[in-house]
Structure 1
Amino acid sequence: MSVSPTLSEIDLKRLFPFSLDDFQKQAIAALDAGRSVVVCAPTGSGKTLIGEYAIHRALHRNGRVFYTTPLKALSNQKYRDFREQFGDENVGLLTGDLSIERDAPILVMTTEIFRNMLYGTSIGAVGTSLNGVEAVVLDECHYMNDRQRGTVWEESIVYCPPEIQLVALSATVANSELLTRWISHVHGPTELIYSDFRPVPLQFHFISSKGMFPLLKAPRGGKKATEINPRIKSFGKGRQGRKEEPALSFVLSALEQRQMLPAIYFIFSRRGCDRSVEAVGNLCLVTPEEARELRSRVGEFLARNPEAERAGQLEPLLRGIAAHHAGILPAWKGLVEELFQAGLIKVVFATETLAAGINMPARTAVISSLSKRTDDGHRLLKASEFLQMSGRAGRRGMDERGHVVTVQTRFEGAKEAAFLATAQADPLVSQFTPSYGMVLNLLQTHSLEETKELVESSFGQFIANLHLQPLMEEVSQLKEEYRQLASQVAQVNEEDIHSYEKLRARLREEKRLLKILWNQAIETSAQTAREALPTIAPGAILSLKGPNVRTKDPVMAVLVATAPSPGQAPYLICLGEDNRWYVVLSTDAIAINGEFPDWQEVGQTVLPGEIAFKPGQSRKGTAETAEIARQISAIAEPLYFAEVEAQQQRMKAVEAQLEQHPLNQWGSPGALFKSLKRQKKLASEIRKLEKQLDRQLGDRWGEFLNLIDILVEVGCLKVSDAEPDAEDDNPVFEVTAMGESAAAIRGDNELWLGSAVRSGLLDNIDPHHLATVGAALVTEVSRPDTWTNYGLSPAVEAVLGQLQGLRRQLFQLQRRHHIAFPIWLEREPIALVEQWALGVEWNELFENTSLDEGDIVRILRRTLDFLSQIPHVPHISESLRVNAYRAMALIDRFPVNESIE
């Protein structure tokens, strides 16, 4: 695609003097055409350039751009990069606890902050905080897959005003086209810019104790490599058939010999990373010049931060080896990132969190295991996880190719590695989940019907709608048929229908009674006949019933002869009025209807011929017997039962009323009632299918309504005295003062945090106690063996004891409404927060707990973030507001405070 000189108001060649890739040109063209874009391309392919173009264009027009990222650390990194690229005065930062130049034309922030901005504005409107914003860059958009934070991305896309362009930058995902269609649906025209091109191609390797080899067979004809290298198919088995894992020193030696350093060595545990650093011993991977540069830089860092030095980390670092995981002191981790980017660290043993956004490319990515332990058990890596880590390999402008090395383990080998290396990326899965904060913020500015529309605009709902389209079309067709039937019977008088139905019901009852009376009369007559049978002779005319009789009504027959039977009563051989011979039991005679005249003469000429004397036997008569058969009906006295006759007359009277009914003027009442029956059946089918649709489409809305019920019960919402909307008849909700307090807080459970803040229990406690209680409300410790040598003060214990009652009530309320948001009230590790607030030195604090330094910092930073929100919560006491500021000052010191310089 050639770039037209009029493609943009900006001189692209001046901005980007290097050659642009096709997908970058396509994205720029789409933005200039006024469309939003989803840029889906591999890690390291240059997606960020699209966001930078949007920034250049906005600066040229005196507009603004918001650049959002999923992580504070990544936002800080982008802030530093953009200040260097665009000038300090043009770049601001918002991360919740940091607010720098918030009116700058380029404002970097976490995606959550952007979502919170949108909460304060009617959806679709441009609020004061978005004045002049031309585009919003959603970096790492594939974070929609994140179970805890994915909702934020979906809300940001749905709530963002349509006149603001979205620039969604994502790693490759399987359903990028669906994502683009969804954004087009909920936001505005959006174009997918897809590329699988990597400027630095990847080469996959497999290493076992027998050596390092290419993982895949060399392709032919320019095709991608997809088949496993036949040379390594049988590798990995040693004594007793066990798979032999290569030693760490063997792997590092192979990387060094092949000039494949620097490398990120991914290990799925903190302890594994630390043990690997220890296991390399005295191995040195840097040159003397690099060693001098390392000592200089590390010395400067420690001069600024003397408390950050750790003997177990310093010596390996000076030899070009480091660990990088969440348990390490963040400041030290930042130093590792800086030195790795400078090429001074050759191997970083890291958990997979390093692959999530932080700019730390390497020549080689080593993946130590192809499976990992999760909350759901031990499982193989997902394709996207493998691709995310692999994407760190290959530095643009520095390496001709990147290398991905998979390591033989006891559990997996080359087969699993080849599968993941050739697998397609996983699809994005919607993680949209309503929260208390979402409910309270939306209902402050929207009606219930508007809110439902927003909630049902999620990505997951969009996909569900597509999958359920056939079912929705079926419902639509059934409704159309129902509408047509309803219009057909609309002109019929409803009272006529009811009266006709009553007559039909009465006729059915009269027929039922007739059947009962008939059966009773037949049984009485049969009893009389059975008593008289022993005395009657051939020529008697009988009424027969039984399995041998083919008609429903009794058959008139003349008794021709009897035959012996195994029982006492003989078989009766009869000629029926239908000219058929019957062999019956005496119990089959239900009445004696007279005698055939002159039977002694006539009977001599009537013989049954060959017929088996077995009950139920029947055969056709002859031409000779036909005349006798015709006379039987005329001779016999018909069956007559007075009660039956009376009932038949009543039945005929009802039939006559039906024939004369006004409903007959509309045509056949039978057809009408068939239509009514079909209409009723359609209504039932429609209800059933709509319930099925509601179950699959309305799960999130059902959760939303459950949250409303809870919020009403606790007093955060109330039903307004205003009349419901006439169109939808939905109630109007008002957010109370307590609800406004909860809505102003961000957290895992805004209702719990808002209830604690509004309880009055925190109003008059000392600042260091407030910090400690705050930590209890926001801290989650997953390991049961966590310990500290510090105890909580009585003042904190007293507050926690009172909060426990509130917690128990909220637990019960949530359980009743099938809601499972966490309600933290941690006790064990939060004593560290109190000691830190009282001034204990960092090294002493660290020595008195089982927690890693990174975990301690995380607890303190989460506490600091919560405390920083309290002064902005409406309807709280001034003493609590002041003490929150004081508590923040007590804990916001190195290494808790974040440096962004």
Structure 2
Amino acid sequence: MALRSPIGELAAFAAELTFTLDPFQQQACESLQAGHSVLVCAPTGAGKTVVGEFAVHLARAAGGKCFYTTPIKALSNQKYADLVERYGRGQVGLLTGDQSLHPDAPVVVMTTEVLRNMLYAGSDALQGLSYVVMDEVHYLADRFRGAVWEEVILHLPPDVRLVSLSATVSNAEEFGAWMETVRGDTAVIVDETRPVPLWQHVLVGRRMFDLFDQKSSDQKILVDEDLVRYIKHREEADRMNSWNGPRHRGGPRRDFRPVHRPEMLARLDEEGLLPAITFIFSRAGCDGALAQCLRSRLDLSRDDDHERVAAIIDKHTGDLPRADLDVLGYWEWREGLFRGLAAHHAGMLPAFRHTVEELFVNGLVRAVFATETLALGINMPARTVVLERLVKFNGESHAELTPGEYTQLTGRAGRRGIDVEGHAVVVWNPDVDTSSVAGLASTRTYPLRSSFRPGYNMSINLIDRMGATESRALLERSFAQFQADRSVVGLVRGIERNEGQLRKLRSQIDHDGFLEYMSLRERIAQRERDIERQGRADRRGAAVASLTSLRRGDVVAIPSGRRQGLAVILEPDQSPGDPRPLVLTEDKWAGRISAADFPTPAQPLGRMRLPRHVDHRTARTRRDLASALRSTGITPPGRQRRGTKSKGGEDRELATLRRALRSHPAHARPDREQLARIGERYNRVQRETEAMREKVSAATNSLARTFDRIVELLTDRGYVDEAGEVTGDGRRLARIYTEADLVVAECLRQGVWRGLGPAELAAVVSMLVYESRQETGYLGPAGPTAPIRRAVASTMTVWSELRTDEAQHKLTPTREPDLGFVTGLHKWARGDGLAESLLASGDQGSALSAGDFVRWCRQVIDLLDQIHNTADDVEVAGTAAKAVRAIRRGVVAVDSA
């Protein structure tokens, strides 16, 4: 629709505000009023959302619609409440997947995924849409959900003005240049000034120091001299007083004891630095810190606050089943709140988290121990942010915080309109280098990198809307491709530089056929690696075959690792690819073993009679069976060594290469090894150059190539026909939004889930949603009922066949289904209590937290809703609806925001 000229609307909007617009807000609003789209990058708490609210004002003034999108439901609920307070309930709608309030209102707040789905479905709600606000647009760097933002940006009608709000990123101009190419005229407004100044400190014991010297400037960052001197004196005193002395360089002292949290908070209180958020990068660490404070006499509350605290607690938790309160740790949690203390992390029940958030914002909780998830958008500013460590686990390893992460975490410090200044406090320990802290604190930006990759659902929707040719062109306009094409420039320069280096190295060794000699050495090294790799594969194949042949009651010896010793087979597993029989060891451990536990094939050493039913989950059963196992008199053979050398003699090809090496003229040169060092460098540079060439090849049109491979696979499987049209099965896939979308579509098409009851369907579906926190995932027992076990096996077959196809088409494989939630969700959906369901859920050996349990339940509900709406089979669709009702009870139904 044509936009009415909104001259004077900014003045009207500004007149309604209780504060004066900052320069960047004024500039962004003027650009928006002039008809441009805008990208606003500013620090946390700077007031970016005011620009989004002006877009709402413009849309209403012109009689159009505005969609306000956020990355997570909690933020959508928060923004909905803000806009309702301003415009009234009938004028504002909310769409978050599990909530739908006034969807036809002129202003609708929604999660970004909801808007993406509306665009793919061609929803009538898009009629009259004039503005879209994308809050926290830097989420497009998120590797799990980031693609959604780019999909929306690429698919929105060209006449819709886009207001993109982002944290400060160092490549805002690059992002803005891309927005300009795909959305047209876009103004980029960057502001790096924090509305509340931030002071940086280091806490050493109970002494607080400024991090920066007053003489520091933008050109030269100086660490406070008093801080450096005090740390040096303390370390010297510690060395003198310690019998242990320092551990190896780079590691913490064994005898170092950090300041106790109650002391730390008391010190902050003395300095007037509360309320404070202390970031601890583990859930258990947050709970442990709170427990430490509760064991002390620390009380940060005020007596006249207790009634208000009790009212807010009851508002959020009054509907919790009384029987579950002890399981949830309710009473300890409540005591902490009355003392002004709390933890905040994703493992908590949502009702608990939301209570903490409301109490903190109202100044009724004054100290919170939180994981970094709190830094991602939740409106919980504090006067002070404390960082206990500058290292966190990133999912693969422990890594130092990046400047961007440090900026995001400390961005919570300083409440606009309340605090004159904010404070960031790093707690010192012997691992902390104050110069590194200064570097983190003085680098305030980080680059935005696209995570956009085509998947099955995205591809099928693109083909259905615009055909394969236009879809490919659209992918080539993505920010990911924009960045890839720019990155090629640097790679080409690197290739040219390396080629010059290769010419120089070649001139030093290109005589007596020395390059040919180095090639032989390289081929020998590669052949040795291939033989070792093949040996590992052969050993694994033998181990797999031996495990599939084991029977119930067989006694085997686990040759190495933590479970080394005798074990009896409780449940055999004949799965050909990755058998995981259930065993009980002589040390009373029960669990599943795999081929990784057997460097040599497993051989039965004897047999043991077992009771008909063995409940390995009970301690008594494990103890009795372990005792019986030890009394069999069977003794394990000597410990096997991994990677024992084959007795088959030397590899023929390797022997030929070694003979050629020894007979080569260069082998007799006296300076052979000196030249070989140059040759090795030559080979290394050559490998680097080839790798860069491959990257250039992969970067150019990389997304389009991936899309073509996906289309080939979907065509082979009948989701797209030979003419390039989407089939009926393809349209079902287009309405399934989950990481395992194609597995779900295949299971529905093949009728894999027919004949299951509601609790059984919920349990089986969970394996496509749930993801264990441990690195390798959890296969677990195959399921508590025969129908579940059959459906699990069939679902695994569907996934395995898809994985084979993906390998053939050179596509990233779909994540393996995870059985860690099957038994627990089955218990819950059939009506069992919370305690039993939690114990039966999660990674092997550890129950799920209540918060994780609720989160996974709601994700299963979301997928069951999709199955209900997309399944052609009336029985499966009806069962899915019943399963949703069975799960949505008790803690899962309470405070579902």
Q: Structure 1 length normalisation: TM-score?
A: 0.70
Give the Cα separation in 1 of the matches to 2:340 and 2:220.
34
Kept in 2: contact 1:789–1:848 (CA 8 A): no
Superposition map of 1:313-352 within 5 A: 313-352=333-372
What letter corresponds to residue 266 of structure 1 in structure 2? F
Within the candidate set 240, 263, 266, 1:253 is matched to 266
Q: CA deviation at 1:424?
A: 3.5
Q: CA deviation at 1:695?
A: 2.9
Kept in 1: contact 2:807–2:813 (CA 8 A): no
Report the counterpart of residue 264 of structure 1 in structure 2. 277
Deviates more, 1:448-457 or 1:266-275: 448-457
Kept in 2: contact 1:76–1:900 (CA 8 A): no
Give the Cα separation in 1 of the matches to 2:119 and 2:315.
42
Give the Cα separation in 1 of the matches to 2:894 and 2:712.
40
Within the candidate set 286, 289, 309, 1:273 is matched to 286
Report the counterpart of residue 860 of structure 2 in structure 1. 863
Within the candidate set 227, 243, 247, 1:232 is matched to 227
Deviates more, 1:154-163 or 1:847-856: 847-856
Report the counterpart of residue 816 of structure 1 in structure 2. 808
Deviates more, 1:147-156 or 1:174-183: 147-156
Give the Cα separation in 2 of the matches to 1:839 and 1:748.
28
Report the counterpart of residue 192 of structure 1 in structure 2. 188
Report the counterpart of residue 838 of structure 2 in structure 1. 846
Give the Cα separation in 2 of the matches to 1:52 and 1:351.
30
Report the counterpart of residue 318 of structure 2 in structure 1. 303
Within the candidate set 288, 308, 314, 1:293 is matched to 308
Q: CA deviation at 1:189?
A: 0.5
Within the candidate set 699, 702, 705, 1:702 is matched to 705
Structure 1 portions without partners, runs of 5+: 122-126, 474-688, 721-732
Give the Cα separation in 2 of the matches to 1:787 and 1:263.
41
Q: CA deviation at 1:225?
A: 8.4
Q: Structure 2 length normalisation: TM-score?
A: 0.71
What letter corresponds to residue 413 of structure 2 in structure 1? A
Superposition map of 1:72-83 within 5 A: 72-83=73-84
User: What do the CA deviations read for 1:303-323 (whole angstroms, capped 9, x no partner)?
Assistant: 332445523322212111111
Give the Cα separation in 2 of the matches to 1:46 and 1:213.
30
Within the candidate set 739, 746, 749, 1:758 is matched to 749
User: What do the CA deviations read for 1:109-161 (whole angstroms, capped 9, x no partner)?
Assistant: 1111112222234xxxxx62311111111100111111111111111111111
Within the candidate set 719, 723, 737, 2:722 is matched to 719
Kept in 2: contact 1:154–1:458 (CA 8 A): yes
What letter corresponds to residue 775 of structure 1 in structure 2? S
Kept in 2: contact 1:97–1:868 (CA 8 A): no
Change (3 A) 1:785 1:410: farther
Look up the SS of the partner of 2:369 in the other structure: strand
Change (3 A) 1:717 1:10: same
Q: CA deviation at 1:104?
A: 1.2
Kept in 1: contact 2:463–2:726 (CA 8 A): yes
Look up the SS of the partner of 2:318 in the other structure: helix
Give the Cα separation in 1 of the matches to 2:287 and 2:265.
16
Q: CA deviation at 1:6?
A: 4.6
Change (3 A) 1:899 1:65: farther
Report the counterpart of residue 20 of structure 2 in structure 1. 19
Change (3 A) 1:417 1:848: same
Kept in 1: contact 2:276–2:368 (CA 8 A): yes
Q: CA deviation at 1:898?
A: 6.1
Superposition map of 1:719-758 within 5 A: 719-720=722-723, 733-758=724-749
Kept in 2: contact 1:174–1:425 (CA 8 A): yes
Give the Cα separation in 2 of the matches to 1:431 and 1:220.
37
User: What do the CA deviations read for 1:25-64 (whole angstroms, capped 9, x no partner)?
Assistant: 1011000111011110000010011111111221222211
**Is 2:424 aligned against 1:404?**
yes
Q: CA deviation at 1:793?
A: 1.8
Superposition map of 1:110-125 within 5 A: 110-121=111-122
Look up the SS of the partner of 1:896 in the other structure: helix
Identity %: 37
Q: CA deviation at 1:203?
A: 0.7
Give the Cα separation in 1 of the matches to 2:814 and 2:224.
49
RMSD of aligned Cα (Å)? 2.7
**Is 2:167 aligned against 1:166?**
no
User: What do the CA deviations read for 1:563-591 (whole angstroms, capped 9, x no partner)?
Assistant: xxxxxxxxxxxxxxxxxxxxxxxxxxxxx
Report the counterpart of residue 384 of structure 1 in structure 2. 404
Give the Cα separation in 1 of the matches to 2:81 and 2:714.
42
Runs of 4+ with >6 A deviation: 469-473, 689-692, 784-790
Give the Cα separation in 2 of the matches to 1:210 and 1:323.
23
Kept in 2: contact 1:775–1:830 (CA 8 A): yes
What letter corresponds to residue 852 of structure 1 in structure 2? S
Give the Cα separation in 2 of the matches to 1:5 and 1:116.
31
Q: CA deviation at 1:451?
A: 0.9
User: What do the CA deviations read for 1:213-263 (whole angstroms, capped 9, x no partner)?
Assistant: 111112478x69832112112416233354663332332122111111111
Within the candidate set 125, 129, 153, 1:129 is matched to 125
Report the counterpart of residue 451 of structure 1 in structure 2. 471
User: What do the CA deviations read for 1:429-450 (whole angstroms, capped 9, x no partner)?
Assistant: 1111110011100001213221
Give the Cα separation in 2 of the matches to 1:203 and 1:72.
32
Q: CA deviation at 1:469?
A: 6.3
Paired residues, number: 665
Kept in 1: contact 2:140–2:450 (CA 8 A): yes
**Is 2:87 aligned against 1:95?**
no
Structure 2 portions without partners, runs of 5+: 240-244, 247-252, 494-691, 842-846
Report the counterpart of residue 533 of structure 1 in structure 2. none
Report the counterpart of residue 798 of structure 2 in structure 1. 806
Within the candidate set 859, 863, 875, 1:879 is matched to 875
User: What do the CA deviations read for 1:519-546 (whole angstroms, capped 9, x no partner)?
Assistant: xxxxxxxxxxxxxxxxxxxxxxxxxxxx
Report the counterpart of residue 772 of structure 1 in structure 2. 763
What letter corresponds to residue 854 of structure 2 in structure 1? V
Give the Cα separation in 2 of the matches to 1:773 and 1:5.
54
Deviates more, 1:436-445 or 1:692-701: 692-701
Kept in 2: contact 1:790–1:848 (CA 8 A): no
Give the Cα separation in 2 of the matches to 1:91 and 1:57.
15
Look up the SS of the partner of 2:721 in the other structure: strand
Kept in 2: contact 1:10–1:60 (CA 8 A): no
Report the counterpart of residue 387 of structure 2 in structure 1. 367
Give the Cα separation in 2 of the matches to 1:690 and 1:374.
30
Look up the SS of the partner of 2:133 in the other structure: strand
Give the Cα separation in 1 of the matches to 2:290 and 2:694.
58
Give the Cα separation in 2 of the matches to 1:889 and 1:406.
47
Q: CA deviation at 1:100?
A: 1.9
Change (3 A) 1:29 1:877: same
Give the Cα separation in 2 of the matches to 1:871 and 1:101.
23
What letter corresponds to residue 308 of structure 2 in structure 1? E
Give the Cα separation in 2 of the matches to 1:829 and 1:856.
9
Give the Cα separation in 2 of the matches to 1:692 and 1:809.
29
Look up the SS of the partner of 2:426 in the other structure: strand
Look up the SS of the partner of 2:768 in the other structure: helix
Q: CA deviation at 1:750?
A: 1.3
User: What do the CA deviations read for 1:687-739 (whole angstroms, capped 9, x no partner)?
Assistant: xx99986532222222111111211122211211xxxxxxxxxxxx1111211
What letter corresponds to residue 697 of structure 1 in structure 2? T
Within the candidate set 198, 208, 212, 1:212 is matched to 208
Change (3 A) 1:211 1:444: same
Look up the SS of the partner of 1:38 in the other structure: strand
Kept in 1: contact 2:753–2:761 (CA 8 A): yes
Report the counterpart of residue 71 of structure 1 in structure 2. 72
User: What do the CA deviations read for 1:326-356 (whole angstroms, capped 9, x no partner)?
Assistant: 1111111111111111110011100000000
Change (3 A) 1:440 1:301: closer
Give the Cα separation in 2 of the matches to 1:698 and 1:790.
42
Change (3 A) 1:274 1:692: closer
